[in-house]
Amino acid sequence: MGRLTLNMLLSFAQFEREVTGERIRDKIAASKRRGIWVGGIVPLGYEVRERKLVIREDEAATVRLIFERYLALGSLPALQRDLRERGILTRLRTLSSGRTIGGVPLTNGPLAHLLRNRVYVGELNHKSASYPGEHAPIVAPALFEAVQEKLTANLNGCRMQRTTSGALLLGRIFDDRGNRMTPSTAKKGGMRYRYYVSSVLAQGRKSDAGSIRRVSASQIEAVVLEALRTAHPDDAGIEERALIHARVDRIVLQASSIDVHPRSDAALMKLAWSPATTVRKREILRSSETDGHQLGIKAEARTVLLRSIALARKWLDEVLGGSTLDQVALREDCSRRHVATTIPLAFLAPELVRAVIDARLPRGINTKRIAEPELEWSRQRELLGLRP
């Protein structure tokens, strides 16, 4: 009798909880259908006053900028880099525990959620539907719909690219900081090269990337496949993609090894590996007059030289367009002689211009010494007395 009474009381208590929860959910749904704000995390660009969403102008300007820049740039990674350069961060919030969160750069997930949020066109979201709200919109409907079309097109294109990608390790390869590595390609000399690149690089977060940021896809795939064929000789007839799908759960690139985590309870495969360097060694061009160690060009001289080359190309275009040296000098507030001696720098060999940009010229090379260069590129380095 005691157990029977207890079970009856527990059943009534559970019934009461479920009825109360159902009534609360119905009340929230009815309020949202009427456009009433019922609580939750306040979207960026708004604040709550008297239980209503009110536009916060400083954040609203940021929201409009995010929508406009996404439409102009066309991708979330490019938008993320642009916002980082502008110093735009998430809103600072203080929790009930006293801990402060936020104040960090926006990543792809929060940006996609913000761009999809119909709150910014004056609506309230409830599950898969939205209803006209009591608050004022921040973004014009035309801009919002254009952004939705772009997001959908990019999503479909990304899915198609992932489906047709030849990357065998797609979705299974990570760097040693846990960042997923995504397929990438580059084309040079009519040849297309495949790579796996740490996903945080596209988001402008180089400091968050692992020790291996970029690796040749064909190289890493060959190492993994060879190890799998050796470890599982019975799978010799299985196609490469099917073999990786059946045997590999996760691949982690370390600085000196490849960790292959199997799908079964088999032991971890740790493959010795050394990535090929993709960075070319840069050396300072040396004067043929000196065989010893020579310092690079001073920063001030490099800045002046780069500015002079840029002005030379600009002024040459103006002269070819019909302007005279006197007109250029008058507009630039300098002497005619200065314009005449600077323009020849426009004929500097691209190899030497690149050396100036990379700060690979030796100390002592400056604008005065390069003035009036030879028109023949092969002779310019010779007359300057430079050698690799």
Task: Place 263 in a pLDDT band, splitting at 50, 70 and 90.
Answer: confident
Say yes or no: 74 and 15 in one domain.
Answer: no
In the predicted model, what is the mean pLDDT of residues 207-226?
A: 86
Q: What residue type is 231 in one-letter code?
A: A
Query: Would residue 18 count as lying in a domain?
Result: yes
Which of 238, 272, 306 is the last residue in one of the domains? 272
pLDDT at residue 388, rounded to an integer: 55
In the predicted model, what is the mean pLDDT of residues 266-295?
A: 63
Query: Would residue 319 count as lying in a domain?
Result: yes
DSSP characters for 35-85?
A: T----SSPPTTEEEETTEEEE-HHHHHHHHHHHHHHHHH-SHHHHHHHHHH
Is residue 204 a contact partner of residue 81, using CB atoms and an 8 Å limit? yes
- For 283, counting Cβ atoms within 10 Å of its Cβ (0-12 exposed, 13-18 middle, 19+ buried), the class is exposed
- Residue 290, pLDDT > 50, answer no
- Residue 387, pLDDT > 70, answer no
Query: Would residue 312 count as lying in a domain?
Result: yes
pLDDT at residue 291, rounded to an integer: 46
272-276 long-range contacts (CB < 8 A, ≥24 apart) are 273/223, 275/212, 275/215, 275/219, 276/216, 276/219
Q: What is the pTM of this model?
A: 0.53
Read off the tokens for 357. Answer: 């940009």
Residue numbers of the domain that contains 363: 286-387
DSSP characters for 21-46?
A: HHHHHHHHHHHHHTT----SSPPTTE
Q: Are strands 286-287 and 386-387 parallel, antiparallel or unpaired?
A: antiparallel
- Residue 289, pLDDT > 60, answer no
d(CA 235, CA 371): 68
Q: What is the pLDDT of residues 11-50, one digit of tens each?
A: 999 999 999 999 999 998 898 888 888 888 899 999 999 8
d(CA 95, CA 256): 43
d(CA 95, CA 370): 63
Token pair 């604040």 in the structure block, residue:
47
Say yes or no: 246 and 358 in one domain.
Answer: no
Query: Would residue 50 count as lying in a domain?
Result: yes
Compute the chain's Rg from CA coordinates: 32
In the predicted model, what is the mean pLDDT of residues 147-151?
A: 91
Say yes or no: 195 and 235 in one domain.
Answer: yes
d(CA 111, CA 122): 19
Say yes or no: 298 and 232 in one domain.
Answer: no
Say yes or no: 260 and 368 in one domain.
Answer: no
- Residue 360, pLDDT > 90, answer no
Is residue 210 a contact partner of residue 175, using CB atoms and an 8 Å limit? yes
Query: Would residue 74 count as lying in a domain?
Result: yes
Which of 272, 297, 316 is the last residue in one of the domains? 272
Which of 249, 272, 295 is the last residue in one of the domains? 272
Helix (H) / strand (E) element for 258: namely strand 257-262
Say yes or no: 150 and 51 in one domain.
Answer: yes
Query: Would residue 165 count as lying in a domain?
Result: no
Q: What is the mean pLDDT of the chain?
A: 83
pLDDT at residue 61, rounded to an integer: 93
Say yes or no: 235 and 192 in one domain.
Answer: yes
As for how many domains the chain has, the answer is: 4
Say yes or no: 24 and 107 in one domain.
Answer: no
Q: What is the pLDDT of residues 58-108, one digit of tens each?
A: 999 999 999 999 999 888 888 988 898 888 988 888 888 888 888 888 888
In the predicted model, what is the mean pLDDT of residues 161-165?
A: 59
pLDDT at residue 16, rounded to an integer: 95
Query: Would residue 358 count as lying in a domain?
Result: yes
- Residue 144, pLDDT > 90, answer yes
Distance (Å) of CA 200 to CA 26, 45, 205, 235: 42, 27, 5, 35
pLDDT at residue 292, rounded to an integer: 44
Token pair 């007109």 in the structure block, residue:
327
Query: Would residue 70 count as lying in a domain?
Result: yes
Q: What is the pLDDT of residues 336-351, one digit of tens each?
A: 888 888 888 888 888 8
Read off the tokens for 304. Answer: 């002046």
Q: What is the pLDDT of residues 296-341, one digit of tens each?
A: 777 777 888 888 888 888 988 888 888 888 888 888 888 888 888 8
Say yes or no: 82 and 118 in one domain.
Answer: yes
CATH number, domain containing residue 90? 3.90.1750.20
242 phi and psi angles, rounded to 5 deg: -65, -35
Say yes or no: 242 and 212 in one domain.
Answer: yes
Bigger pLDDT: 191 vs 139: 139
pLDDT at residue 277, rounded to an integer: 58
d(CA 83, CA 89): 8
